[in-house]
Amino acid sequence: MDQVVNSNDMLHGYYFEDLEEGMVDVFAKTITDADIITFAGISGDTNPVHLNHEFAAETIFEGRIAHGMLTASFISTVIGTKMPGPGCIYVSQNLRFKAPVRSGDTVTATCTVTKLIPEKRFIELKTVCTVAGKPVVDGEATIMVPTRLP
């Protein structure tokens, strides 16, 4: 007899029961000028340190930098698409911005499961974004993860 597969199951990420402390997943992307301009348009953050070379050259950064929240958004990419993946819900995130990111930099977002909280179906993650191995953003996240159990 053929097995019937629920299409939602094919879209679903990890269930709470599948996760263990120490599990890791990553996402990497090279930032482009178009990414920075698009993020400015979507977010409304048109701070000239992101968009105007002459202005940014006079700042401590000595040139344009990407939005910190653009960089941090790659953490959401890991959480929402990889681990735990589709079906999970962000509960909280704290962030510390360590260094600027520029167009042409490749950002790698890494999330590591640090704690399971079964009574709430929450997990805690260590979150870090790096460029060339150097942390540019770090923090912790709490995520609600669906369970297979009723």
Domain membership of residue 61 (yes or no) is yes
* CATH number for position 137: 3.10.129.10
In three-state secondary structure terms, 8 is helix
With both helix axes pointing from N to C terminus, report the angle between 33-43 and 68-81 in degrees, rounded to the nearest 10. 90
The percentage of the chain sitting over the pLDDT mark of 90, rounded to a whole number, equals: 90
Domain membership of residue 149 (yes or no) is no
Both structure tokens of 132? 């060339």
Domain membership of residue 62 (yes or no) is yes
Domain count, the chain: 1
| Overall pTM > 0.85 | yes
Q: Is residue 1 pLDDT above 70, yes or no?
A: no
Domain membership of residue 132 (yes or no) is yes
For 33-49, write each residue's pLDDT tens digit.
999 999 999 999 999 99
For 86-124, write each residue's pLDDT tens digit.
999 999 999 999 999 999 999 999 999 999 999 999 999
Domain membership of residue 99 (yes or no) is yes
DSSP structure string for 41-110: HHH----HHHH-HHHHHTSTTSS----HHHHHHHHHHHHHHTSS-TT-EEEEEEEEE-S---TTPEEEEE
Give the pLDDT of residue 36. Answer: 98
Domain membership of residue 47 (yes or no) is yes
CA distances 66 to 12, 23, 37, 76, 143, Å, are 32, 29, 9, 17, 26
User: Structural domain of residue 95, as residue ranges?
Assistant: 19-144
Domain membership of residue 96 (yes or no) is yes
Q: Is residue 5 pLDDT above 60, yes or no?
A: no
Q: Are 106 and 55 in contact (CB under 8 A)?
A: no
Domain membership of residue 9 (yes or no) is no
Average pLDDT, the chain: 94
